[in-house]
Structure 1
Amino acid sequence: MKLLVIVALAALGLTFIVLGSGAYNMAATEKHWAITEKMITWVRESSIKARAEELEVPALDSADMLAKGFKHYHAMCTECHLAPGEQPTELAMGLYPQAPVFYKREPVIDADEKLYLSKKYFWVIKNGLKMTAMPAWGLTHNDEAIWATVAFLHKLPGMTAEQYAAFGETHRDDNLHDHHH
């Protein structure tokens, strides 16, 4: 048992020495090591699931909610997550990890998966994600605005540039992006 503790402490010490030496490149232009990527993904998904599990999802299909969600998405999200037909922005290209491009995803049909994604999207939008450039919009936006954005996120997969433009024209008004700080 004593040998196991010594080996574990030596491995931990060696790890700190190697990482402290700068061997791990933190540049956004370099991909994570495969083990690092797996660990970050596991920790992130576990954290989100544990915190989002108890959320109550409101009805997300009203025209008013979708219109508000479009306005918020268009004003706040397209710089990183893009809109259908847009080329990646300079900001989006410089992110690592890359922000998800929602319109390129497959539509979710399974009700349980859609429910979980709704909770996950809400939690991430409200709280942000460390070391990803995803801001915590809950500091400046109320839950209603965030749920509206979630509602629109469910409409984006498979949406064409023409559909996005038409959606914008249908839901355009003088107060494109309103919220209270």
Structure 2
Amino acid sequence: MLRILAGMVLGLGLLGAGGMAYMHSGMYNVAASDDHLPLVETVLHSTMHASVSTRAEDIEVPDLDDPEMIRQGARAYEELCTACHLKPGLDGTVLRAGLNPTPPRLTEPSHRSPAEQFWIIKHGIRMTGMPAWGETHEDAELWEMVAFLRRLPELSEQDYAASIAPEAPQGAADDGHDHEHGKMSAMAGEGDSRDDPASAAGQAQADDGHDHGDPVTMKDDSAAHGDSEAVHQDRAADGQDADGNDPAQATARPGDGHHDDGHDHAH
């Protein structure tokens, strides 16, 4: 019996030593571009599921049917969650494509209870890319997201768009907490500045060096152009060209050729 016990202890010791050697060898690939081994994936998923279920058991769930909670939750979801968990009409993003494990599609029905969803949103999940939003948000805001998540799988693309519309019921800002969540749309990869009329106008403005007025409101800047015309007339009266330079001085620098580019090349 003693010999068997000693053999078991020796076997466990060798197994532990082998595991440590493998861990420090660097043989296991931790790249997000490479999937876990099936056994490792199963163990991690089962451990996560049991951990969340255990810690969510004592969480008291509030009333999640309040329309204002759902509306605020829709806004938070749009700003914080769509880059990873998608929304109706959005099938992928540049951020989601690079995450391993792939985040669940929250537009599909979930098997998790509201308490479990709240716990995950608040505390996050290690080594998955799921952040702990409880570090930056109050519990009331997190419950708003849960309230919206319960409705999300039922929404069409048009329903979703209506749910995040900027119009808010009177008194919506009087619930005692700030609903500015920040945005992750830059990581979602849903569009770029070339599709934004304001951004495109701003780029054009930067390219030609002239002020064309407000590119967003497209207001007429005729007053500014009127002032510019008056300046050109004054310079002409003084014998200067449109840029305020003396033609005589320009001809006094033969072979230069750099004066016309608008830059001072004197070193």
TM bin, normalised by shorter chain, reads: 0.7 to 0.9
Name which of 83, 87, 93 aligns with 1:83. 87
CA shift for structure 1 position 158: 4.1
Give the alignment's Cα RMSD to 1 decimal. 2.0
Q: Where does residue 6 of structure 2 map in the other structure?
A: 2
**TM-score, normalization: structure 1?**
0.87
Q: Which blocks of at least 5 consecutive residues in structure 2 are unaligned?
A: 182-267
Cα distance in 2 for partners of 1:154, 1:46 equals: 22
Cα distance in 2 for partners of 1:97, 1:172 equals: 36
2:141–2:179 contact (8 Å) kept in structure 1 = no
Paired residue type of 2:53: K
Cα distance in 1 for partners of 2:62, 2:7 equals: 55
Matched, 1:149 2:149: no
Please identify which structure carries the higher helix content: 1
**TM-score, normalization: structure 2?**
0.60
> What CA deviation, in whole Å up to 9, does each residue of 1:84-120 have, x standing for no partner?
11131111110001111111x23x6xxxx6xx61011
Partner SS state of residue 113, structure 2: helix
Aligned 1:25-40 pairs, distance under 5 A: 25-40=29-44
Name which of 129, 134, 157 aligns with 1:133. 129
Matched, 1:62 2:66: yes
Larger Rg: 2
> What CA deviation, in whole Å up to 9, does each residue of 1:1-59 have, x standing for no partner?
11011011101111221222112110001111111111111211111111111000000
Instruction: Pick closer, same or farther for the CA change 1:139–1:86 going to 2, 3 Å.
Output: same
Cα distance in 2 for partners of 1:121, 1:26 equals: 27
Q: Which blocks of at least 5 consecutive residues in structure 1 are unaligned?
A: none
1:75–1:177 contact (8 Å) kept in structure 2 = no
Cα distance in 2 for partners of 1:34, 1:16 equals: 20
- Of structures 1 and 2, the one with the larger relative CO (CA 8 A, separation 6+) is 1
Cα distance in 2 for partners of 1:68, 1:154 equals: 13
Q: Where does residue 178 of structure 1 map in the other structure?
A: 180
State the identity %.
36
